[in-house]
Structure 1
Amino acid sequence: MSTDAPIADRIEIAELFTRLAHLIDEGRWDDAGTIYADDVVMRSPRAGELRGIDEVIGYLHRAEVDGEHTQHMTTDLLVDVNGDEAAASANSLVHFYRDGRAPHLTSGLRLTCTAVRTPAGWRFREARIAPVWTRKD
């Protein structure tokens, strides 16, 4: 194995967090399969436990609030690759806003994930979203 392979894996897994933030901010729910494995298990206080990509996509559609947008900023990524599986975590700052207005809600989240190597590239197989704080503006 090339010494570049673990670095390339970490970069690809880190990019999953960025691609997830863009997917959510752009409302591209049906593209969730580019981030999550088909058998994903996602847990969050808002969604509960979702099993499988179809449940995740269905939840994303149902959770959409008309006229509300988000801006996700992901930081402090940590990726530990072990073969074809990796533990990954990040912090996320999320602003909720309406067109032309300042945010009315801001949240700090902690994301903890397990990523797996698939034929299509790395995907999150498990994801836990934990709110750390919320501020209503």
Structure 2
Amino acid sequence: MDRVEIAGLLARLAHLLDEARYEDAATVFADDAVIRSPRGGEVRGIADLISFLQRAHVEDERTQHITTDVVVDVEGDQASMSANQLVFFYRAGQPPHRRSGLRLAYTAVRTSMGWRISEGEVVPAWIDGPPVTVVA
């Protein structure tokens, strides 16, 4: 059952990102989560993560995250998980103008609210399309 709930974190994260519900990040991430990515550097804590996601959002741009090849290993109240993710960036009614293939590596912990991502790294395998910069 733990593996199902932990893998569900990735699905909930994808929906949260696709629907731009960044303020709901605490339903997926631990309060003191540390996330690393080339685009965001190292982000520490839920407040900074939400702030980064809001700044990184491009007006009128939508995303579709497709997560696959999920592997979860549980050891007590901690788990490691990895997955591949395809992200399509598009505007309403138009085909994607940018795509990326990502490799995700996360650690999850059991909390009083259920499993949450406590640490993670997002590594691009490839990117196709114009680059995006994040406003500091």
TM-score (norm 2): 0.94
Q: Distance in 1 between matches of 2:88 and 2:52?
A: 20
Q: Which of 41, 45, 69 pairs up with 1:48?
A: 41
Q: Which of 26, 32, 36 pairs up with 2:19?
A: 26
Ranges in structure 2 where 5+ consecutive residues have no aligned partner: 131-136
Q: Which of 64, 70, 80 pairs up with 1:77?
A: 70
Q: Distance in 2 between matches of 1:66 and 1:27?
A: 11
TM-score (norm 1): 0.93
Ranges in structure 1 where 5+ consecutive residues have no aligned partner: 1-7
Task: Give every structure 1 segment of 4 or more consecutive aligned residues whose post-TM-superposition deviation is greater than 4 Å.
Answer: none
Q: Residue by residue, what CA displacement relative to the aligned partner does 1:13-45 show, whole Å, maximum 9, x if unpaired?
A: 000000000000000000000000001000000
Q: Residue by residue, what CA displacement relative to the aligned partner does 1:27-83 show, whole Å, maximum 9, x if unpaired?
A: 000000000000100000000000000000000111110000000000000000000
RMSD over aligned Cα atoms: 0.9
2:8 alignment counterpart? 15
Relative to its length, the structure with more helix (as a share) is 1
C-alpha displacement at 1:127, in angstroms?
A: 1.1
C-alpha displacement at 1:88, in angstroms?
A: 0.4
Q: Which structure's CA Rg is the greater one?
A: 1
Q: Is it true that 1:93 corresponds to 2:86 in the alignment?
A: yes
**Which amino acid is the alignment partner of residue 134 of structure 1?**
I
SS of residue in 2 equivalent to 1:60 = helix
C-alpha displacement at 1:136, in angstroms?
A: 2.2
Q: Distance in 2 between matches of 1:98 and 1:127?
A: 28
Q: When the two structures are aligned, how many residues end up with a matched partner?
A: 130
